[in-house]
Amino acid sequence: MQWFSNAFVAVRDFMELGGPILTLIGWVIFGMWALIIERMIYFRTVLKKLKAEIRDTWEERTERRSWNAHQIRDGLISQFSMSANTSVPVVQTLVALCPLLGLMGTVTGMIEVFDAMAFSGSGNARSMASGVSKATIPTMAGMVGALSGVFLVTILTRRVETEVETLEEELTMDH
C-alpha cells in the first residue's frame, strides 16, 4: 500500500509542477484512452455480432442482383461502417488537441517567467525556475499524449477500413 501512496504523491507533485493546464491535458489524455479502449473492446464484441447479423440478413435474401438489392447491400455496409467509426473522429480530435494544450501550457508558463522577471529583475534564477517548469512540462505531456494517441488512432482507422472491406467482400451479389 506504501507504493500506492508514493505513486499518488509523485503524480500530485508532477501535476502541481505543470500548473492547471497539465490537469486539463491529463483529462484529455484520459478521455482519449477511455475511448480507444472502448473501441477496441467494441471491435472484439459488439462489432463481430453486428457483422454476423448483417451477413445473415444478406444471406437470407433470395434476390441479390436488382437495383433494390444493391441499395439494401449499400445500406447494410453503411450501417456497419457508421457503427465501426463511432468515436474515432472524437479520438482524432483529442489527439490533435494534446499538443495545442501543451503549447498553451508553454505560453502560460512563459508568462509566469516574464512576470517573475518584471517583479524581481532579470537576474533572479529561482523566481524564473517555476515558470520554466510550468512551460516545459505541459509541452512534454501534450506531445507524449499525442504520440501515444496517433499510433493507436492509426490502428483503429485501419481496423475500421479492414472490417468494412471484409464485409463488402462477404456480401456477394450472387444468385
CA separation for the pair 159, 47 (Å, rounded): 11
The set of cell numbers assigned to 129 is 525556475
d(CA 93, CA 50) in angstroms, rounded, equals 26
Ramachandran angles phi, psi of 66, nearest 5°: -75, 170
| Residue 151 in grid coordinates | 499510433
The rounded distance, in Å, linking the Cα atoms of 51 and 128 is 58
Phi, psi (rounded to 5 degrees) for 116: -65, -40
Please name the residue ranges forming H helices in 19-124.
20-44, 46-60, 67-85, 88-120
The cell numbers describing 81, all together, are 461502417
- Beta-carbon count within 10 A of 114 CB: 13
- Provide the residue-wise pLDDT of the chain in tens; the chain has 175 residues: 788 888 888 878 777 777 788 899 999 999 999 999 999 999 999 999 999 999 999 988 888 888 998 999 999 999 999 999 999 999 999 999 999 999 998 888 888 777 777 777 666 666 667 677 778 889 999 999 999 999 999 999 999 999 999 999 988 766 5
Q: What is the pLDDT of residue 65?
A: 86
Nearest to 100 by CA among 19, 10, 21: 21
